[in-house]
Amino acid sequence: MSQSPLNIVILAAGKGTRMYSKMPKVLHEIGGEPMVQRVIDTAARLNPQNICVVIGHGKEQVLAKVKRDVVWIEQTEQLGTGHAVKMALPHLPAEGRTLVLYGDVPLTDTATLQALLEAAGDEVGLLTDVLDNPTGYGRIIREGEKVVAIVEEKDANAAQKAVKETNTGILVLPNAKLESWLGSLSSNNAQGEYYLTDLIALANSDGIAVHPVQVRASHLAAGVNNKVQLAELERIFQTEQAQELLKAGVTLRDPARFDLRGRLKHGQDVVIDANVVIEGEVEIGDDVEIGANCVIKNAKIGAGTKIAPFSHLEDCETGANNAIGPYARLRPGAKLADDVHIGNFVEVKNASIGQGTKANHLTYIGDAMVGSKTNFGAGTITANYDGVNKHQTVIGDEVRIGSNCVLVAPVKLGNRATTGAGSAITKNVEDGKLALARARQTVIEGWVRPEKPKK
């Protein structure tokens, strides 16, 4: 491949009217990541000298969302793709070549772009596609084998409209020619825009060859103009990810009903049931099973742990061989050791829970430190919030908390402490002690239950 330096310009100034959204089009997500972020990350993998991103509509939102150092270029008026690239000229050196990408074409891979750069050499490279229905796209006009021009749909005659070979929009240009070519563009066309595509004819008149490369699969160069196309590309992206996981040995009970919006690191013999959503950075160990309809975000799950259906985990960590759910909720800062059981309608937030501890039913554990082999009776609540401040609850090893206890923080239960069912525990309980904090049962002697008078 030619070694001349590479610059990349990403066009992302358009509004995306047909998304019907307050958010600029390029921020809509594929696989949990804004489209333009995906394009920038792909661009960065080609090690360019710089990446220029042309923005306009919703530029503040784009600037706030994108995570990477790029050269931001503002195009205040969207006068066409040629005009957009022209905005980047001051940041493009006189030598080398420039690759033009689109912020709303999210699934292009580096292999496609490498092939295009290779074919282009120091001349022009053009990524094309062949579509059964080419309506709306620029058509590739050839004389014999030679590509001589691109004609936009709205400017095309009937014969040109019949051409199924289309312009994906992605192309490589020699920097030495950019200034003169872009400078000679006119907006004298059906849309009154400065078309980047007119550069193909200009290259021809300058005797610079245009090297077309047909994309391997349409989705690699497909753009998003509306939510239908966004959903289509999302499904393709998810299918590819699911296939990768299957090939790597993960059992997906139904790969069509699995969504990964981030990264999943996994061990062996992992089983994931239908409708599971994985977000952010998730790591799961060997033999982990995730039941249907779980949502797991930024979590680390130890080997052998079973997560039963309808559980929700976020910013948390479980040890090995935990039993979680069904209907469990692990919130940020939940850190469970090995062999922990968290059952139905149990919520854990900002709490560490020691080995072998069980909270099997209807419990809230927040802002707590819990030892090992402790048991929470059904309906236990750590009352951690006094309306102003959050307080800690510290619970030792082998504690037995009776059902329906409220532990009013700050409070401490020592090792092997026990609390009677229905207690409101407001004072510390020492090691090994039984605490009761509830009204004593009384029996009213001689009480007679009222009866309706018999007719």
Residues at the contact surface with ligand UD1, assessed by CB under 6 A? 11-14, 54, 75, 78-81, 83-84, 102-104, 137-138, 150, 152, 166-169, 195-197, 223
Is 373 one of the annotated binding-site residues? Answer: no
CA distance 281 to 84: 35
Of 41, 11, 40, 36, nearest in space to 26 by CA: 36
140 in Cβ contact with 156 (< 8 Å)? no
For strands 251-252 and 271-272, give the pairing: parallel
CB of 76 to Ca ion, least distance (A): 20
Q: How far is the CB of 147 from ligand UD1 (least distance, A)?
A: 13
| Dihedral sign of CA atoms 23, 26, 28, 32 in order | negative
Shorter beta-carbon distance to Ca ion: residue 223 or 396: 223
| Residues 280-303 as b or e (16 or more Cβ within 10 Å = b) | eebbbbebbbbbbbbbbbbbbbbb
Contact partner at residue 339 from ligand UD1, Ca ion, none, CB < 5 to 8 Å by partner kind: none
Query: From ligand UD1, Ca ion, none, which one binds at residue 150 (CB under 5 to 8 Å depending on kind)?
Result: ligand UD1
Is 195 marked within a binding site? no
Minimum distance, C-beta of residue 131 to ligand UD1, in the bound complex (Å): 10
**CB of residue 35 vs ligand UD1: minimum separation in angstroms?**
9
The site partner of 364 among Ca ion, ligand UD1, none (C-beta below 5 to 8 Å per kind) is none
CA–CA separation, 93 vs 266, rounded Å?
Answer: 44
167 is known to lie in a ligand binding site? yes
375 annotated to bind ligand? yes
CA dihedral over 16, 21, 26, 31, signed as positive or negative:
negative
H or E stretch including 37? Answer: helix 35-44
323 is annotated as contributing to ligand binding: no
Q: Which is nearer to Ca ion, 223 or 420 (CB)?
A: 223
Residues with catalytic roles: 361
Q: Among residues 370, 376, 420, 427, which one has the least CA distance to residue 397?
A: 370
When the beta carbons of 60 and 451 are compared against ligand UD1, the nearer one is: 60
Question: Closest distance between ligand UD1 and the C-beta of residue 4, in Å?
Answer: 24
Shortest distance, position 154 Cβ to Ca ion, whole Å: 13
12 binds, among Ca ion, ligand UD1, none (CB under 5 to 8 A by kind): ligand UD1
Q: What is the residue type of 391?
A: H
Q: Is residue 209 classed exposed, middle or buried when 0-12, 13-18 and 19+ CB atoms within 10 A define those classes? A: middle
Cβ atoms 206, 171 nearer than 8 A: no
Q: Which is nearer to Ca ion, 193 or 347 (CB)?
A: 193
Question: Minimum CB separation from ligand UD1 for residue 225, in Å?
Answer: 7
- 215 in Cβ contact with 128 (< 8 Å): yes
Q: Is there a binding annotation on residue 102?
A: yes
Residue 293 partner contact from ligand UD1, Ca ion, none using kind-dependent CB cut-offs of 5 to 8 Å: none
Choose the contact partner of 319 out of Ca ion, ligand UD1, none; CB within 5 to 8 A by kind. Answer: none
Residues with Cβ within 8 Å of 147's Cβ and at least 6 positions away in sequence, in order, are 126, 140, 141, 200, 210, 212
Burial call 170-185: b when 16+ CB within 10 Å, e when fewer: bbbbbbbbbeebbeeb
Asked whether residue 11 is marked as a ligand-binding residue, the answer is: yes
When the beta carbons of 196 and 272 are compared against ligand UD1, the nearer one is: 196
Q: Residue 187, annotated ligand binder?
A: no
Rounded (5°) CA angle 8-39-104? 105
Nearer Cβ to Ca ion (105/250): 105
Q: How far apart are CA 423 and CA 403, in angstroms?
A: 8
Distance CA(250)–CA(260), nearest Å, equals 13
Q: How many CB atoms lie within 10 A of CB 441?
A: 5
Residues 193/81, Cβ–Cβ less than 8 Å: yes
* Closest CB to Ca ion: residue number: 223
Residue 439, annotated as binding a ligand? no
Question: Which CB, 6 or 149, lies closer to ligand UD1?
Answer: 149
- The one of Ca ion, ligand UD1, none whose footprint includes residue 83, by CB under 5 to 8 A per kind, is ligand UD1
Residues 183-242, interacting with Ca ion (CB under 5 A): 223
**Residues within the annotated binding site?**
11-14, 25, 75, 80-81, 102-104, 138, 152, 167, 225, 331, 349, 364, 375, 378, 384-385, 403, 421, 438
**Residues within the annotated binding site for Mg(2+)?**
104, 225
Binding site for Ca ion (CB under 5 A): 223
**Residues within the annotated binding site for acetyl-CoA?**
378, 384-385, 403, 421, 438
